[in-house]
Structures are given as structure tokens and as C-alpha cells.
Amino acid sequence: MTQLCQRAQSGVLSNPSTHVEYLTFCLKQDSTSITTQQINQQAISDFIAAVSGIEKSINQKDLTAGLNISIGFSANAWSQLFPSYPTPAELHPFKEMSDGDRLFPATAGDVFIMIKSERIDLNFQAAKYIMKSFSELASLVEDIQGYKYLDNRDMIDFVDGTENPNGAERAMAVLVAEDNDLHQGGSYLHVQRYVDKQLDWDKQTTEYQEQVIGRTKMDNVELTDEEKPVWAHNAKSKVEVEGLEVKMLRQNRPYGNAMEHGTMFIGFAATPTIIETSLSQMIHADEYGNYDRLLDFVDAKTGCLYFMPSKTFLEQFDDG
Ligand code: HEM
């Protein structure tokens, strides 16, 4: 397990930082010809080396800010950028899910960059240089700045991340252990950007909000089995296989301002099945019409699946 942890990109196993910038890029060309593939090979090597250089030099400005940059690739990006490497076994495009008026859309995104640190200015500078160094190959389609809100609360005012696994349990939940040697220590990442329906949420009583989340608002204590409705978020999102809970790591952060805000759902797991199962349990109503009632108050605007390769994989491209 220690060896796997050493292979993980630095942002993958760590807790969410005070500031985080999420960049979503889409590749510019369709690489069907060999020539384009060769161009891509050189361009992606240059890009990976550039990101590593940007991380090193901006980090030097303030080591206490702990800046680190992690990179993920969609199934589409993998086949275009790394045609001579095996695709991670479970990497596939995220498939839209819907039920009634609830929708988890599948949206565009080929390369995902997560810049974590304690300083928004350093994150911005890294984002600016990364966008520039990737401009020939890809277009930036979304740039979201997330941040720690109060004591790790979402903007619906509940503490988020409490039930995340820690230590060895976290590494087991997050890191791929069985795949091609190069992919061991990688991780699957589901990203969804949600917008809060704040006015609707604020109309609810605290008691109802607590039932929706499944925990108390002020003290963040889990409701008892008797108190917790089957449609509570922490009941619907929990995944069990043969009676045993299977964990994921959520590095969610809120983003936005008083006009529009929400949550970036940043979910890591050793297999995408865990998070897809969780999403399916949340959105699909059961035979009694029960779905995750949190979805009455938040709207998913984006949805993508990425593979965050191991450092061992990325280092092959970094000649610096
Ligand atoms: C707007 C989006 C979301 C918000 C505001 C939100 C918020 C929360 C909060 C406040 C908790 C309780 C504290 C904790 O354990 O972290 C929680 C728990 C949890 N959430 Fe979410 N969440 C969101 C989306 C999702 C999504 C999309 C998934 C899965 C794909 C998910 C999976 C979980 C899991 C597994 C737990 C822990 C359940 C348990 O074992 O108690 N959440 N979430």
C-alpha cells in the first residue's frame, strides 16, 4: 500500500485545500491520422513537462502554501493522447442519468486540472500559465475557483466530508491496485458541478434540512436510524456491497458568489462503479418514489469521468 501511495499524484489522497482551481479542457483536434497522433504525442509530452515546471516554480514562491497540481484524462483524451499505452481498464465516458425532472448530464471535458493550495493568487497564476501552455492542443471550457467555506461547509450550510475515509482506508478506497503496472496508484475521478437553489433551500425548516442531509446542521451529528429518512442524502449516497460499506473520497468544495453558487463534487475511487452506483441510488426513485431529496435543492450542470494517472505514468513525459 505504501508503494501505491507513493505513486499517487499529490492532490489525490490529500484533503481539500483552502483554495482550489478546477480547469476543464477540451481537445481541439480529432486525431484520426497518424500525423496528428504524432503531433499529439509531442504536444502532450511538452504539456505534462510544462505543468510539472509550473508547479515547481510557483511552489517556490511560498512553500507554506503547499501548491500542487493534479491531472486527469477522459476516455476520449486517453485514446487521442496516449494511443500507444493501454487504456485504464475501467475508463469510459460518463453516461447521463435521469429520472423524472432530475438530471445528471454528461458534459464535455477531456483534460481536468486541479490546482490546490492555500493561496488563490498562486492558483490563478498556475492556471494562467497552464492555459497558455496547453493552448495549441486544447481549449479551456470551464475554470472554477473553489474555496473553504466556514468549517468545511457547503453553501447549504452543512459540513461536507465528515464520513471520508482516512489513512490506509483512504488509499484502499481511492487507488487502483489491479491494472497494468503503469496504472497502479492512479485513481478514477468523477466531477460534477452543482448549482444551489438557495431560495428554495432557505425556505425549509432546519429540521427538514437536517432530514435531507441526514445529519444535524450546527453540530454535524449523524441522525439515528430512527430519525433518518430513507431519502436522506447520506442514506441514498452510501454504497454497500454484500452488506459492507464501500467508501469513496470526496474533495468537494463550494464555489461562486451571492448571485450563483454551488458545490464542485470531486469524487475519487479505485473503480468508477462505486460513484456511478451512488449517483444511480441518488437519482432513481425506488418503488415508493424515494430518491435523494438533496436533488430538490441542487442542480447538476456538468458531469465527467477522468482517470488521474500515477506519477510513475506522468514522469515518463517529464524530461525536466
Ligand atoms: C451538491 C452536491 C452535494 C452536496 C452539497 C453534498 C453534501 C454532503 C454532506 C453535507 C454530507 C454529510 C457529511 C459527510 O459525510 O460528508 C454528504 C455525505 C455524503 N455524500 Fe454528498 N453531497 C453532494 C453530492 C454528492 C454526490 C454527487 C455523491 C456521490 C456520487 C455524494 C456522496 C456522498 C457520500 C458517500 C456521503 C457519506 C455518506 C455516509 O456514509 O454517511 N455526495 N454529502
User: Read out DSSP for 87-115?
Assistant: PPTT--PPPPEEETTEEE-----SEEEEE
Ligand 1 midpoint to CA 234 (Å): 6
Q: What is the pLDDT of residue 177?
A: 96
Instruction: Report pLDDT for 317.
Output: 86
Q: What is the pLDDT of residue 34?
A: 46
- CA-based R_g, the chain, Å: 20
Residues 6 or more apart whose Cβ sits within 8 Å of residue 57 = none
In the block, cell 491520422 appears at 33
Q: Which residue's CA is the closest to the ligand 1 atom numbered 38?
A: 234
Asked if residues 82 and 21 have their Cβ atoms less than 8 Å apart, the reply is: no
Q: What is the pLDDT of residue 38?
A: 61
pLDDT reported for residue 30: 57
The SS3 of residue 8 is: coil
| Binding site membership of 158 for ligand 1 (Cβ less than 6 Å) | yes
Contacts of 135 (CB under 8 A, 6+ apart): none
Mutate which of 150, 163, 211 for ligand 1 pocket (most atoms within 8 A of beta carbon): 163
Terminal CA-CA length for the chain: 28
Nearest CA to ligand 1 atom 31: 237
CA distance 153 to 67: 22
The whole-model pTM stands at: 0.97
Catalytic residues: 160
Any atom of ligand 1 within 6 Å of the Cβ of 94: no
For the Cβ of 166 lying below 6 angstroms from any atom of ligand 1, the answer is no
Please, what is the angle between helix 34-61 and helix 120-133, to 10°?
160
Residue 49 confidence (pLDDT): 95
Per residue of the chain (320 residues), give pLDDT as tens.
Answer: 788 999 999 999 999 999 999 999 999 975 444 456 666 788 899 999 999 999 999 999 999 999 999 999 999 999 999 999 999 999 999 999 999 999 999 999 999 999 999 999 999 999 999 999 999 899 999 999 999 999 999 999 999 999 999 999 999 999 999 988 999 999 999 999 999 999 999 999 999 999 999 999 999 999 999 999 999 999 999 999 999 999 999 999 999 999 999 999 999 999 999 999 999 999 999 999 999 999 999 999 999 999 999 999 999 987 65
B/e letters for 79-114, b = 16+ CB within 10 Å, e = fewer, are ebbbeeeebbebbbebeebeeeebebeebebbbbbb
Instruction: Decide: 232 in ligand 1 pocket, CB within 6 A.
Output: no
Query: What is residue 221's predicted lDDT score, i.e. its pLDDT?
Result: 98
